[in-house]
Amino acid sequence: MYQKPKAIIVDLDGTLLRSDKSVSERTLKAIEQCKNAGILVIVATARFWFKAEKYLELIKPDYAILADGTQIFHKDEMIRGFAMNEKAVNGVIHSLRAQNLSTEFVVGVGKELLCSAAGINEKWRKSYAFEGDMKQPVYKIAAMLESVGMAECLAEDYDCRLYSYRDENLYGFTDKESGKYQAVKDLGEILGIDLQDMVAFGDDENDYEILQNCGVGVAVANAIPQILKVADEVTDSNDEDGVANYLERYCLREELVPFWEETYQNMDTITFSEKPNATIKEFEHLFDKDWNILEVGCGEGQNVLYLAKQGYTEVDAFDISENGIKKLRKKCEIQGVGLNAYVDDLTKCRLQKKFDLVMSFGTLHFVEKEGWKRFLTQAKEKTNIGGIHIMQIFTDVVPASPDIAPFAVGLAKDEELKDIYQDWEILQFKSYVFEDEHPNVPKHLHASNKIVARKLR
């Protein structure tokens, strides 16, 4: 959840830039704060130098990955390039010229852009005749084409990587092995930064690999469906300063420590309860002793300790808190109880087997809503027919209490949990408000939804 990455990777169009191509003061401030906090800022865009230059001057990133990952710049100097092979370059150019004299295309060479259109003579853009073979390194070719089919044929004929861009009939051709991900990976190796220590932001198909492979992939809300699906987190849209919002919430604040981390370190302190959740006992008559059981966000483990003592032999439990798991393991040792307790993050975990009972009490709302929804989808798929889920989550009917407000980033809407299980048999659903208290925390209210559901097919 809260983390300080070593680097952030930020796309421009549709992500950092608003729809009018502006960069808000809020976003510029967040970027500057990242740099001041020792976080490297890396722009990764499809743009050529001439279209990116004004934004690089404004944002002042530490590094810029341009032309769909084919060029890496440090300030004004290109420090790494992924050029197309000569056969592909000349094949694509000759084919474009042969197709239609009105077909416009541009060729990226270093910072310069050579243009098929006549009458261009600018600092970084110039008209070019393209009468013979190109001998200098070419990093990307972009062309306006009538159809995607035409672009796909060219890419296949000359073994290029093909890019298409939202709301445009513009297509990009690069070396088959290049791309934003390859550039980010190479730059990480140069800088000694692991991909897992990077946060990547994007909205379009050329961002897919970096969102998939970096430590945290963040999609803006206006991203295309496949980007929303692959992302670990979804922030606000580009017009709502989604990148700045995420940076402010997760990367720029002092790391807060929840009260339970302190009490988890004390074997004599009971953080929440010694007794198992009452719903477990209420529905225990439906469980079999040989069921595979999983608790998500087990904390000190009062629920799984109870089940293991009752003779359930296949009990797994995980929590993101190392202190919580350490305390649970110690309790197992003292009480002679056998169960599998381990540290994991529900937003990143991959369930390796199927379960018959999956339960979570007061945990899901501590991750972004997209994160807990994605986990529940996985958990439903990894549940055997006849298996049961018991899920409790806090809702926004009552504001989050001060002790958890900084961490409760995924409060559910009332009955939102019920909608997720509409394809299962709902054995019980409750929406309620209750009073709570913990060591050194005054009494307070929580609004909650709890559901017990069974998978029928």
Whether 321 and 411 share a structural domain: yes
pLDDT at 1: 43
Instruction: Give residue for tokens 């509409």.
Output: 422
pLDDT for 439 beyond 80: no
Roughly how many angstroms between the first and final C-alpha of the chain, as a whole number? 34
**Cβ(453)–Cβ(422) below 8 Å:** no
Whether 297 and 415 share a structural domain: yes
Domain-embedded: residue 212: yes
Domain-embedded: residue 436: yes
Q: Which domain holds residue 153?
A: 86-175
**Cβ(339)–Cβ(330) below 8 Å:** no
**Cβ(439)–Cβ(432) below 8 Å:** no
Helix (H) or strand (E) holding 383: strand 383-394
Residue 440: CB atoms within 10 A of its CB come to 10
**Cβ(352)–Cβ(395) below 8 Å:** no
Whether 70 and 103 share a structural domain: no
pLDDT at 435: 87
Whether 375 and 266 share a structural domain: yes
Kindly state the percentage of the chain with pLDDT values over 70: 96
Phi/psi at 108 (5° precision) = -90, 120
Label residue 50 exposed, middle or buried (CB < 10 Å: 0-12, 13-18, 19+).
middle
Whether 198 and 163 share a structural domain: no
Residue 298 confidence class, pLDDT cut points 50, 70, 90: very high
pLDDT at 166: 76
Whether 189 and 108 share a structural domain: no
pLDDT for 292 beyond 50: yes
What is the token pair recorded at 44?
A: 């990764």
Whether 93 and 220 share a structural domain: no
What are the tens digits of pLDDT across the range 91-107? 999 999 987 666 899 99
Domain-embedded: residue 377: yes
What is the token pair recorded at 413?
A: 């809407």
Of 228, 251, 274, at which residue does a domain stop?
A: 251
Of 197, 226, 251, at which residue does a domain stop?
A: 251
Whether 126 and 147 share a structural domain: yes
pLDDT at 293: 98
pLDDT at 53: 96
Q: What's the number of domains the chain is made of?
A: 3
3-state secondary structure of 446: strand
Instruction: Give residue for tokens 């000569």.
Output: 86
Quote the CA–CA distance of 395 and 412 in Å, as a whole number. 4
pLDDT at 2: 47
Domain-embedded: residue 200: yes
Mean pLDDT of the chain: 93
Of 122, 143, 175, at which residue does a domain stop?
A: 175
Residue 271 confidence class, pLDDT cut points 50, 70, 90: confident
Whether 94 and 148 share a structural domain: yes
pLDDT for 441 beyond 70: no
Domain containing 121 — which CATH number?
3.30.1240.10
Whether 74 and 93 share a structural domain: no
pLDDT at 404: 81
Domain containing 314 — which CATH number?
3.40.50.150
**Cβ(191)–Cβ(209) below 8 Å:** no
Whether 350 and 401 share a structural domain: yes
3-state secondary structure of 149: helix
Domain-embedded: residue 2: no
What are the tens digits of pLDDT across the range 244-260? 989 988 888 665 678 88
Residues present in the chain in total = 457
Instruction: Give residue for tokens 């191509």.
Output: 21
Domain-embedded: residue 376: yes
pLDDT at 87: 95
Domain-embedded: residue 432: yes
Residue 146 confidence class, pLDDT cut points 50, 70, 90: confident
Who has greater pLDDT, 33 or 102? 33
